[in-house]
A and B are shown apart, each in its own frame.
Chain A
Amino acid sequence: MNTPPTPSSSNRREGPPADGFSILRPPSPPIRRARHRTVLPGFGISAAITSLMIVALVVIPLAVLILRAASLGPTGFLAAAWTPRARAAYAVSLGSSLTAAIISSLLGLLVAWVLVRLEFPGRRILDALVDVPLALPTAVAGLVYSTLYVEKGWLGQWLVPVGIKGAYSLLGIVLVLVFVSLPFAIRVVQPVIESLDKDTEEAARLLGASRSQTFFRVVLPGILPAVVTGFALALARALGEYGSVVFISGNMPFKTEIAPVLIVSRLEEFAYAEATAIAVVLLGMSLSMLVVVNDLQQRLVRNSQ
């Protein structure tokens, strides 16, 4: 297929050349068409498949969800979505997800930095292991974490006597949420650290800045937008997580019950209206978080420029 182009082959394609230079000077109309990309086939069929899938799987389900919640009316919606138990669940969800996303962002920054900047034996293995939470089913993570941190578990036997309960507690929820969200925090920051200009840091050091000054004044402004993106992804993932939390939290109403767990338990009681209302609040929470974080990120990018 890809025979190296020779002058003669391109001559054949473009018809008889007017002069020898026409080979060097590419004809302009095809290039303009290339920019507009209208010559390629398949617009119709790819547009049809894409819009069918997006409309059927994303737009209609979410619209139905929101319309169903709207059909409850304002008072009905509040009565369903704003019960004391639901409010407690939002607080647990939001609190544990924010905590987990902050921890993930800090640990993620540390791990990403070490992976990019430091050379040590086992670095590549460490790099590959970072992706485990993306591939490991969350149910497995939840199961394992709960057995690790109970009183007789590998880690629990040391931690529980000192008063650290990592299973059936808020701490347990935060732990599994850090597990599921850590790769997002690492993988977003890593390429940005790779692209940092080391000369600027060196210049700062040579001009007499201390290590911490260099980090906070030179390095951090450059990577902060990426850290914020990682935080947003980690938060979105943590807010919606169900599989791992349901194993480890104990799911005690008002204490360790997160919003997704409450939705499921309402569904199992066939309380569809209540489940839908809570789901819409959860959806609104994650979408508004994304908007806020997006805005913050754009401001950071503008400031660092």
Chain B
Amino acid sequence: MTSKPRHAATATSPLGLLLITGAVATVGLLIVAPLASVFVDAFSNGPQAWWEALAHDPDTRHAIWLSLTVAPIAVLINTIFGVAAAWLVARFRFPGRSLLVSLFDVPFSVSPVVAGLALVLIFGRQGLLGPTLAWLAVKVIFAWPGLVLATTFVTLPLVVRELIPVMEAIGPEEEMAAVSLGANGWQVFWRVTLPNIRWALLHGVVLANARAMGEFGAVYVVSGHIAGATDTMPLRVEKLFQEYRTPASMAVASVLAALALLTLVAKVFIERQLETESKELEAARAPGADTDPTTGGLGP
């Protein structure tokens, strides 16, 4: 008995069919049905009503605009942080390195609500910096800087976690070669590192953006939920729902869901690129491949 027929037999065997049915039912009921119903419900009164719910409500318009401002700022901050942190962790060894890596993951295990509360305790009117901020006439909580801070916190691990494994897999040899040829830091980064990590970076950015656009808990706490001022799109969804305007709420939700689908398409595309590149890397590393004398000694 060879392995191929056995493998093929499992897919069509009763047990195989049962397992497939179970998996399809799981994904279908838990994921596809809700997703489909967003669009069905959003367009149940026709595209005209959908468009009016989005474009003719000034508060909703403002929420869309605010989300499109806050999310890119948070993603930009996280991109800079992610690249710096990945460079630090993947290219240098220093005391406290593993502690630092575990700190990157902390936002994953802290409830967004708790994170928002911590920001209120620092920047709120009765917070640590409250009097200073009042004196400077700067508003953080119940204003967009608080939204940016909260969104940055919850998306903090996403870019750096994508970059570290890729940068460790590529290794520092090409960058060291560039340095030894006289390139300065920026040249090394723009010409060697960035081209190597571009797909992983994009992957992280896409994921961070999706999370940033959709963040609810942390943003809810710091925003004060002021319609037309500090409501982002997800908060607008909730407010419309609370006001028993479910169709309008669904219309906003459908925009967010469409964005999520777009994110997934981009993700699948980027992952395919990443796979190709890691295969190329493996082929280049394979024994017998034409290796550069400067890196040859480092191979496994």
Contacts and interface: CB of A to CB of B under 8 A. Distances in A.
Given A139-B234, A276-B121, A65 B114 contact: yes
Interface in B89-112: 91-94, 100, 103-104, 106-112
Given A49-B84, A114-B19, A243-B216, A267 B120 contact: yes
B102 to A, nearest CB: 10
A134 B31 CA distance: 11
A47 B93 CA distance: 12
A148 B93 contact: no
B91 A40 contact: yes
Interface string A14-27: 00000000011010
Which interface class (under 10, 10 to 19, 20 to 34, 35 or more) fits A?
A: 35 or more
Contacts, number: 307
Contacts of A241: 111, 217
Contacts of B100: 50-51, 54
Contacts of B260: 132, 135-137, 140
Contacts of B267: 128, 131, 135
B214 A137 contact: yes
Given A139-B253, A179-B34, A240-B111, A275 B214 contact: no
B300 interface: no
A236 interface: yes
Contact of B216 (A49, A119, A138, A239): A138
B297 A31 contact: yes
Contacts of A139: 214, 216, 234-235, 237-238, 253, 256
Given A133-B31, A138-B214, A145-B34, A279 B113 contact: yes
Interface string A244-287: 00110000000000011001100100001001100100110011
Contacts of A122: 24
B230 interface: no
A253 B211 CA distance: 29
A286 B109 contact: yes
A143 B250 contact: yes
Interface stretch (B46-54, B131-139, B275-283, B286-294): B286-294
B188 interface: yes
A117 B290 CA distance: 35
A61 B118 contact: yes
B11 A118 contact: yes
A276 B117 contact: yes
A1 B26 CA distance: 50
Contacts of B104: 54
Given A139-B234, A140-B234, A179-B34, A120 B220 contact: no
Contacts of A117: 7, 10
Nearest to B219: A243
A165 interface: no
B235 to A, nearest CB: 8
A132 B118 CA distance: 29
Contacts of A114: 19-20, 22-23
B19 A118 contact: yes
Contacts of B189: 42
Nearest to B263: A135
B113 A119 contact: no
Contacts of B26: 107, 110-111, 182
B56 interface: no
Interface in B4-29: 6-8, 10-11, 15-16, 19-20, 22-24, 26-27, 29
A34 B11 contact: no
A34 B117 contact: no
24 contacts: A10-B292, A10-B294, A37-B93, A42-B185, A46-B87, A50-B84, A61-B118, A65-B117, A110-B22, A111-B23, A111-B27, A129-B31, A137-B214, A137-B260, A139-B214, A143-B238, A144-B38, A147-B37, A147-B246, A148-B34, A202-B6, A243-B220, A267-B221, A279-B111
Interface of A: 1-2, 4-5, 10, 13, 23-24, 26, 30-31, 34, 36-43, 45-47, 49-51, 53-54, 57-62, 64-65, 68, 107, 110-111, 113-115, 117-120, 122, 126, 128-141, 143-145, 147-148, 154-155, 175, 178-179, 182, 198, 202, 211, 233, 236-237, 239-243, 246-247, 259-260, 263-264, 267, 272, 275-276, 279, 282-283, 286-287, 290
Given A50-B88, A118-B11, 14 more contacts: A31-B298, A40-B172, A43-B92, A46-B87, A111-B27, A128-B267, A138-B234, A140-B237, A178-B30, A182-B26, A198-B3, A241-B111, A243-B112, A260-B112
The 8 closest A-B pairs by CB, nearest first: A137-B214, A240-B111, A243-B216, A242-B217, A61-B118, A41-B185, A26-B297, A49-B84
Interface of B: 3, 6-8, 10-11, 15-16, 19-20, 22-24, 26-27, 29-35, 37-38, 41, 77, 80-81, 84-85, 87-88, 91-94, 100, 103-104, 106-115, 117-122, 126, 128, 149, 152-153, 156, 172-176, 179-181, 184-185, 188-189, 191-192, 207, 210-211, 213-217, 220-221, 233-235, 237-238, 241, 246, 249-250, 253, 256-257, 259-261, 263-264, 267-268, 290, 292-294, 296-298
